[in-house]
Structure 1
Amino acid sequence: MLCIDLDLFKNVNDSFGHPMGDRLLRCVAERLRAQVGGQDLVARFGGDEFAIVLAQVTSPNEASDFAARLIEIVSAPYDMDGLEVVIGASIGIALAPGDGEDCDALLRNADMALYRAKAHGGGCHHFFEKEMDRQAQIRRDMELDMRHAFARGEFELHYQPLIDLAEDRISGFESLLRWRHIERGMISPADFIPIAEDIGLIVGLGEWVLRQACIEAARWPDDIKLAVNLSPVQFRSRNLVQVVISALAQSGLSPRRLELEITESLFLADSEANLATLHQLRSLGVRISMDDFGTGYSSLSYLRSFPFDKIKIDRSFVTDLTERPDCLAIVRAIAGLGRSLNITTLAEGVETIDQLQALRGEGCHEVQGFLFSPARPACEIDGLLRKFGRRASQAA
């Protein structure tokens, strides 16, 4: 059983319209049908997903060779009225009887293998593995638990201080979501945030984070800012601006004290609509920060497309800052870019005095990291502000 998903098909629909997309699907179907024998079956499941049942395959190698050839055939350019259209394909493979003895099991397992192929960047095929089933069960359990976590009060916000290097004091806090599972304890955001994005829960979760963080920040001194991360998924709901307005109004927090952090992946889809939303947010007086700068695509073009208030230097460059000249050169370039464009630069993941001194020497404006403090619960904010009431470098 082969599950096939077309790579980049959405771009065709978005760029040339659904009629062109429908024609392309028919062309793909013709190519697939030409590759199967009399006892094989090829079908379209819906959208840009197809499935093939190969009755005569006798070995994994044969299935692998067929899948590789199929990807090459589907990925060849299509001539659509003189317009060259290029897509790709990803394939998941399940073999009977080892991967399932009935249609439902084979299809489910082939689909899991397809998910793995897509996660590896697409344009490849992947066989089902027993570990995938275990991981899928863990994911299903986590999805179910997440849907009940709100009612059980398991989500909470922690805050990590942002240090202004010129004034050597706390200038703000970044709010970070934590999940204290009733049985499993603290679950890493790296484990649950992607799932929340996949199942759409991040929209409601993000609204709660924004409201709760603004309410908490309104109790802080007036010169302390609040930074809140936004998921690209939140922009798809198209009511993000109203959510921000509501959170500010409910809390009484001044817009000038709120920083909204986005990642470069926001610009990979619906960029015009997302840019319009960013401009609306900025018109409220809210500051916009680009997170994980330098780890995505076309960073410099994004700086031209929107007047960011802050760019955050990813921790991957800071970790080896004092050992690797290339990391130092990248930090130096980003800091210089920030000065030239009048954009604040903040370095993440600062853990040593040597890193701090190097970042100060390169002209970074702000830093955050375990050298000063990990993220702490809201009840510890006052203590952190008192601790850093004296010079931050001494307190660290």
Structure 2
Amino acid sequence: MLANTYNPLLVVCSLLVAMLAAYTALDMAGRIALAEGRAARYWMIGGACAMGLGIWSMHFIGMLAFNLPIALGYDPAITLLSLLIAIAASMFALWLVGQKTLPLSRLIVGALLMGPAIAGMHYTGMAAMRMRPGIEYQPALVVLSVTIAIVASGAALWIAFRLRQASGRLFLRGIASLVMGVAIVGMHYTGMAAAHFPLGSVCDAAQDGSDPAWLALVVILVTLAVIAIALIISVLDLRMEARTAVLAASLAEANKELAFLALHDSLTGLPNRVLLEDRLEQLVRGARHTKGRFTLMFMDLDSFKAVNDALGHRVGDKLLVDVSRRLRDALRSHDTIARVGGDEFVLLSDVGDAAGAAAVAQALARAIEAPFQVEGHDVRISLSIGIAIYPDNGADQEELLSNADAAMYHAKALGSGSCCFFEPSMQADVYEQMQLAHELRSALTAGEMVLHFQPKFAALSGAAVGAEALLRWNHPVRGLLSPDRFIALAEKTGAIVPIGMWVLDESCRQLKLWHCAGHVDWSIAVNLSPLQFIDDGLVQAVQDVLRRHDLPAHSLILEVTESTAMRDVDVSLAVLQQLRHTGVQIAIDDFGTGYSSLLYLKRLPATELKIDRGFVGQLSHGTEDAAIVSAVVALGRTLNLRIVAEGVETRQQRKHLTEVGCDILQGYLLGRPMPANLFVEAVRNAHAPLASTLVR
């Protein structure tokens, strides 16, 4: 037999190529498992070519490493056939591990088919040498090589299937590639060991075959290039898929967020009107089917607009968030609370009786009553609630919402923090309010707003000291409307600011006429609404109107209600100080009805306290109201404030108020509100009997 040797460098190269081919096989298996449709077929074809070339290259380099003491060569056609066998075996392997499952029976069948195919590639490649006489094989080693091929194929299939989606675990793939590479090399060199070459053997392929040295270099370079290109494409595709996955996840998250925003309020996170109407429709449908009942509540925050304008929209938004949180916390998890407007909320509850609905409404009102701490401000608001119960107060969602809204408006008319159940008569009231609100928009420009003036008298001398300007709406159909019919609407629609500015200008114009008529010691009192009080242009408007009508600033008295002044003391203090710097006088109206703190009151730059008519109306010696009036007067004296009592309607009230030390009196006993053209004569006629009574 001819003695043979091996080129150690090529042997090492064959092992490295085998490991690289194994790694390529694992990577391609992963790509095929992740791909779908046509892409999976492309990856299978490309992967089979790269993997098959790698396996064949390892075999061929191993053969090139084999040396005999004769010239060797390889038949190109047979060599190409062995390459095709390797590619076919690789494609079968990749198809097998690309399946969703790999049961033991399929694994065994696959190994029994793939192992002989790999061995067939090896022995076909050996046949490409065209030895004469033929190569003699030792049967035991041939069987061993085929067995190694089968076992190696089974192990490779199992490892590839298990690690096909382990792209992040490179260490495991490296170890698996090493094991598979050693198994492939072991099969090859076992097969080579089985070959014996008799003395005098001649390689017929040496004459017309390729040169082994040149062929080894070409095979190594081509194989490494193909495998490298396959791996690079795989890595690039994997990165692209990863980016696509990230983009897809981002898009899914964005779509989820958009879907949430489409059904929820962006500020508070509560359901919006769209989601509310959907859930309300489901409730109505379910209640019709089961003959059930449920409650719908329409809620509105009292004085929210004033807070929003006074402290800014940022504080207003944070207040809405805090309100929403309290409302959610006060309800059960299966109740629906939705924000349907700036400061409007709607509740859906499965409570079906009036007593239960009232209990829920009380819980919500209590939750809102506690002061809110918003960016250092102590904010107090209340909740007006209208309640409608299905099916008594509406047979469908539109009717329920409309009726609950009507009940809420009725609750607002009763005062802040009220709660009302719907009654049929309320719809007429709501329609009237809506009609008035519409007509109010043009009332000022149409000249329908007029002023009446109520005289004010010195308590001791009985002399007229001025008047309070009181707004009236001379409606073309409804007649003369008092402020309680439209002021709340004007505040809700924002029309109160231009109307208030008109009142200020018209009052000063009329006062100037009285001054020119000789009544230079008279003053005029003008009420400021909460919205007007916090308007940024108020101070400048006051300065402009005084300048325009050439009035001394002290002749104008601006009246601010106690609740308005105390809503946010720091803001109120800043506004009132700016007004006082203009020289006008400041009166705290309705004193005693709010939550004044003496600590804050003494800081306010007021010049006058007005005792609320509620204390004067029940005034008699020894009553609680008499004690309150006396205390207010004493407080005013201490703070060096002028005391004005309004609502004086009886001689006993006038006498008592004068005796306790009130400075100025105002009320129906002394003079009713009247147009300007009647004022001077009415004051002159009222002064004589008032003065004579005081003298007696």
Whichever structure has more strand as a proportion of its residues is 1
What amino acid does structure 2 have at the position aligned with 1:140?
Answer: M
What amino acid does structure 1 have at the position aligned with 2:546?
Answer: L
Q: Take 1:24 and 1:313, find their aligned partners in 2: how far apart are those partners?
A: 34
Q: Take 1:308 and 1:73, find their aligned partners in 2: how far apart are those partners?
A: 33
After the TM superposition, which residues 174-253 of structure 1 pair with which residues of structure 2 at under 5 Å, given as runs? 174-220=468-514, 221-253=519-551
What amino acid does structure 1 have at the position aligned with 2:334?
Answer: Q
What amino acid does structure 2 have at the position aligned with 1:64?
Answer: A
Pick aligned residue for 1:35 from 334, 346, 356: 334
Q: Take 1:372 and 1:96, find their aligned partners in 2: how far apart are those partners?
A: 53
Max radius of gyration: which structure?
A: 2
Q: Take 1:376 and 1:66, find their aligned partners in 2: how far apart are those partners?
A: 47
1:218 is paired with a residue whose SS is: helix
Q: Take 1:361 and 1:114, find their aligned partners in 2: how far apart are those partners?
A: 45
Q: Take 1:135 and 1:219, find their aligned partners in 2: how far apart are those partners?
A: 41
**Change beyond 3 A, Cα 1:74–1:191:** closer
8 Å CA contact 1:74–1:89 kept in 2: the answer is no
Pick aligned residue for 1:45 from 317, 340, 361: 340
**Correspondence for 2:443:** 149
Is 1:64 matched up with 2:357? yes
Q: Take 1:286 and 1:9, find their aligned partners in 2: how far apart are those partners?
A: 27
**Change beyond 3 A, Cα 1:366–1:108:** same
What amino acid does structure 2 have at the position aligned with 1:363?
Answer: G
How far did 1:320 drift? 2.3
TM-score (norm. length: structure 2): 0.49
Q: Take 2:383 and 2:560, find their aligned partners in 1: how far apart are those partners?
A: 30
Is 1:269 matched up with 2:567? yes
Say what the alpha-carbon RMSD is for the aligned residues: 3.7
Q: Take 2:397 and 2:630, find their aligned partners in 1: how far apart are those partners?
A: 57
Q: Take 1:232 and 1:76, find their aligned partners in 2: how far apart are those partners?
A: 20
2:452 is paired with a residue whose SS is: strand
Is 1:94 matched up with 2:388? yes
Q: Take 1:73 and 1:395, find their aligned partners in 2: how far apart are those partners?
A: 51
**Change beyond 3 A, Cα 1:158–1:24:** closer
Q: Take 1:222 and 1:9, find their aligned partners in 2: how far apart are those partners?
A: 38
Is 1:106 matched up with 2:405? no
Aligned length: 381
TM-score (norm. length: structure 1): 0.82
8 Å CA contact 1:264–1:299 kept in 2: the answer is no
**Change beyond 3 A, Cα 1:42–1:107:** same
Q: Take 2:362 and 2:593, find their aligned partners in 1: how far apart are those partners?
A: 33
What amino acid does structure 1 have at the position aligned with 2:547?
Answer: A
What amino acid does structure 2 have at the position aligned with 1:210?
Answer: L
**Change beyond 3 A, Cα 1:108–1:219:** same
How far did 1:198 drift? 1.8
8 Å CA contact 1:215–1:253 kept in 2: the answer is no
1:95 is paired with a residue whose SS is: strand
What amino acid does structure 1 have at the position aligned with 2:571?
Answer: A
1:311 is paired with a residue whose SS is: strand
Taking every aligned residue pair, what percent have the same amino acid on both sides?
A: 38
What amino acid does structure 2 have at the position aligned with 1:67?
Answer: V
Q: Take 1:73 and 1:317, find their aligned partners in 2: how far apart are those partners?
A: 28
1:262 is paired with a residue whose SS is: strand
8 Å CA contact 2:569–2:600 kept in 1: the answer is no
How far did 1:251 drift? 1.0
Q: Take 2:667 and 2:369, find their aligned partners in 1: how far apart are those partners?
A: 48
8 Å CA contact 2:617–2:647 kept in 1: the answer is yes
How far did 1:61 drift? 4.5
How far did 1:203 drift? 0.7
2:395 is paired with a residue whose SS is: coil
Render the CA deviation track for 1:100-154: whole Å, top value 9, x for unaligned: 33322222222333445565654x8643221221211121122122223223322
Is 1:387 matched up with 2:685? yes
8 Å CA contact 1:8–1:88 kept in 2: the answer is yes
8 Å CA contact 1:170–1:388 kept in 2: the answer is no
Is 1:296 matched up with 2:589? no
Render the CA deviation track for 1:60-99: whole Å, top value 9, x for unaligned: 348627836974997799xxxxxxxx99976543233443
8 Å CA contact 1:9–1:48 kept in 2: the answer is no
Which structure is richer in relative contact order (CA contacts within 8 A, separation 6 or more)?
A: 1
Q: Take 2:419 and 2:452, find their aligned partners in 1: how far apart are those partners?
A: 41
8 Å CA contact 2:409–2:430 kept in 1: the answer is no
8 Å CA contact 2:646–2:666 kept in 1: the answer is yes
**Change beyond 3 A, Cα 1:23–1:106:** same
What amino acid does structure 2 have at the position aligned with 1:174?
Answer: E
Whichever structure has more helix as a proportion of its residues is 2
What amino acid does structure 2 have at the position aligned with 1:152?
Answer: A
8 Å CA contact 1:3–1:49 kept in 2: the answer is no
**Structure 2 residues without counterparts, runs of 5 or longer:** 1-294, 371-379
Pick aligned residue for 2:625 from 327, 333, 341: 327
What amino acid does structure 1 have at the position aligned with 2:471?
Answer: L
**Correspondence for 2:460:** 166
8 Å CA contact 2:300–2:344 kept in 1: the answer is yes
Q: Which stretch of the first structure deviates more once superposed, 212-221 or 332-341?
A: 332-341
Q: Which stretch of the first structure deviates more once superposed, 292-301 or 359-368?
A: 292-301
Q: Take 1:386 and 1:207, find their aligned partners in 2: how far apart are those partners?
A: 30
2:620 is paired with a residue whose SS is: coil
1:94 is paired with a residue whose SS is: strand
Q: Which stretch of the first structure deviates more once superposed, 276-285 or 230-239?
A: 230-239
Q: Take 1:355 and 1:62, find their aligned partners in 2: how far apart are those partners?
A: 44
**Change beyond 3 A, Cα 1:117–1:334:** same
Render the CA deviation track for 1:241-300: whole Å, top value 9, x for unaligned: 111111111111110111111101213434322221111111111000111111122253
**Change beyond 3 A, Cα 1:129–1:324:** farther
